C-alpha cells in the first residue's frame, strides 16, 4: 500500500503526527498541508513535517489519492464542499475526528461518486496541541476506531485499516453511532466536566485555583484542550452527551443524598465500587 500524494487538512498535533508517521513508514511520495494559519503551515514545512502547503483547500488536494480531515469536526462538511471538483478518481477520504454518527453519514452522502470515505478516530489525543508536540510514534500502541457503514467501499476500508496497522495502532471496527455513545461517556462528558469544574471553582473565588493540588490538576488537565475543537465535538454529539449528563446527574444526586443523610456506609460503598472499576481499566 502506497499513496502518491496525501493532503492533510489541519496540521496540528494529530495531523502533523499523521504526516510524520506516513513519512517514517514510507507510505507516500508527497504530503501537502492546508490550514487556517500560514505561519503554522510554513513552520510545518520548515520542520519537514509536510512537503508543501496551500491556503486553498481545492489546490491542496488536487491530485491527492488520500485526503485526511484533521481540523475541528465542524469544518469537515464545508471543506468537502470546497474540494468536490479537485478529487482524484478512487481517492480515499478519511478523518481523525472524535465524532462519527450523523457527521460520518453526512460526509459519506456528500462524497462524490468514485471517491471513498472511511471514518477513523485514533485515541491518541492530548491537552497539548500544535506541531511542536507532534511525533511519528503518537499512534504506536494506541487504539484506532474505524467506523465503516454498510456503504463503505471494502477496498478503501482495507487500505485505511492497513495504514493504521502500519502506524502500530490497535484497530477496532465499530458502528458510527455506537462510537458516539461510547465516547460521549468516556471522553466528551469528561472534557465538558473538566471545563465546568474549573469554571465552578473560579465562580466561587478564582484565587482558589492557586491552591490546586495534584488531584485537581489531574482531573482538570483536559480543560487545557483546544476550546474550538471541543465546542464542535460537543455540538455534533450533543444527544449522547446529554444522555450521559443525565446519568451523571443521577449519580451526583445520589451522592448528595448520602451526604445530607451523613450516610458514611453508602458513600464508602459508592467509592469502593468506583475504585474497583477504575483499577480494572486497561486490564482486559
Question: Does some domain include residue 41?
Answer: yes
* DSSP β-bridge partners for residue 118: 94
The CATH number assigned to the domain holding 267 equals: 1.10.3660.10
CA 169/CA 138 separation, integer angstroms = 9
Answer yes or no: do 54 and 18 share one domain: yes
* DSSP β-bridge partners for residue 66: 6, 92
Question: What local confidence, expressed as pLDDT, does residue 284 receive?
Answer: 58
3-state secondary structure of 123: coil
Among 142, 174, 206, give the residue marking a domain's end: 174
Question: What local confidence, expressed as pLDDT, does residue 129 receive?
Answer: 72
Question: Does some domain include residue 284?
Answer: no
Answer yes or no: do 36 and 112 share one domain: yes
Answer yes or no: do 76 and 58 share one domain: yes
Answer yes or no: do 259 and 118 share one domain: no
Low-confidence ranges of the chain (pLDDT < 50): none
Question: Does some domain include residue 185?
Answer: yes
Answer yes or no: do 102 and 138 share one domain: yes
3-state secondary structure of 74: helix
Among 131, 151, 174, give the residue marking a domain's end: 174
Check if the beta carbon of residue 119 is closer than 8 Å to that of residue 176: yes
Among 133, 155, 174, give the residue marking a domain's end: 174
Question: Does some domain include residue 10?
Answer: yes
Answer yes or no: do 64 and 198 share one domain: no
Answer yes or no: do 254 and 131 share one domain: no
Answer yes or no: do 147 and 182 share one domain: no
Question: What local confidence, expressed as pLDDT, does residue 282 receive?
Answer: 79
Question: Does some domain include residue 228?
Answer: yes
CA 206/CA 278 separation, integer angstroms = 31
Question: What local confidence, expressed as pLDDT, does residue 9 receive?
Answer: 98
Question: Does some domain include residue 73?
Answer: yes
Answer yes or no: do 161 and 233 share one domain: no
Question: Does some domain include residue 35?
Answer: yes
Containing structural domain, residue 270: 178-279
Domain count along the chain: 2
Answer yes or no: do 60 and 91 share one domain: yes
The CATH number assigned to the domain holding 7 equals: 3.40.50.720
Q: 475504585: which residue's cell?
A: 275
What is the pTM assigned to this prediction?
A: 0.92
Answer yes or no: do 271 and 170 share one domain: no
Answer yes or no: do 235 and 151 share one domain: no
Radius of gyration of the chain (CA): 21
- Give alpha helix (H) positions in the chain: 13-25, 38-46, 57-60, 76-83, 101-110, 154-166, 176-183, 189-205, 214-220, 227-236, 238-260, 264-279
CA 196/CA 210 separation, integer angstroms = 17
Amino acid at each position: 500500500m502506497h499513496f502518491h500524494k496525501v493532503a492533510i487538512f489541519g496540521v496540528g498535533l494529530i495531523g502533523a503526527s499523521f504526516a510524520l508517521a506516513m513519512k517514517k513508514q514510507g507510505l507516500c511520495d508527497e504530503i501537502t498541508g492546508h490550514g487556517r494559519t500560514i505561519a503554522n503551515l510554513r513552520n510545518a514545512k520548515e520542520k519537514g513535517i509536510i512537503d508543501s502547503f496551500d491556503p486553498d483547500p481545492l489546490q491542496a488536494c488536487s491530485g491527492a489519492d488520500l485526503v485526511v480531515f484533521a481540523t475541528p469536526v465542524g469544518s469537515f462538511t464545508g471543506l468537502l464542499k470546497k474540494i468536490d471538483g479537485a478529487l482524484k478518481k478512487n481517492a480515499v477520504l478519511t478523518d481523525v475526528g472524535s465524532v462519527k454518527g450523523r457527521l460520518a453519514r453526512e460526509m459519506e452522502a456528500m462524497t462524490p461518486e468514485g471517491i471513498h470515505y472511511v471514518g477513523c478516530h485514533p485515541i491518541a489525543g492530548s491537552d497539548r496541541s500544535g506541531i511542536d508536540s507532534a511525533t511519528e510514534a503518537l499512534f504506536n500502541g494506541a487504539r484506532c476506531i474505524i467506523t465503516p457503514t454498510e456503504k463503505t467501499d471494502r477496498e478503501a476500508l482495507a487500505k485505511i485499516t492497513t495504514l493504521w496497522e502500519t502506524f502500530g495502532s490497535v484497530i477496532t471496527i465499530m458502528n458510527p453511532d455506537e462510537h458516539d455513545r461510547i465516547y460521549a461517556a468516556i471522553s466528551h462528558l469528561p472534557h465538558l466536566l473538566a471545563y465546568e469544574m474549573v469554571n465552578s471553582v473560579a465562580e466561587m473565588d478564582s484565587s482558589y485555583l492557586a491552591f490546586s493540588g495534584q488531584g485537581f490538576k489531574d482531573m482538570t488537565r483536559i480543560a487545557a484542550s483546544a476550546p474550538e475543537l471541543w465546542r464542535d465535538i460537543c455540538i455534533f454529539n450533543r444527544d449522547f452527551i446529554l444522555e450521559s449528563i443525565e446519568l451523571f446527574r443521577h449519580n451526583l444526586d445520589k451522592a448528595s443524598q448520602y451526604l445530607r443523610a451523613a450516610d458514611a456506609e453508602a458513600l464508602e460503598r459508592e467509592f469502593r465500587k468506583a475504585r474497583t472499576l477504575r483499577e480494572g481499566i486497561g486490564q482486559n
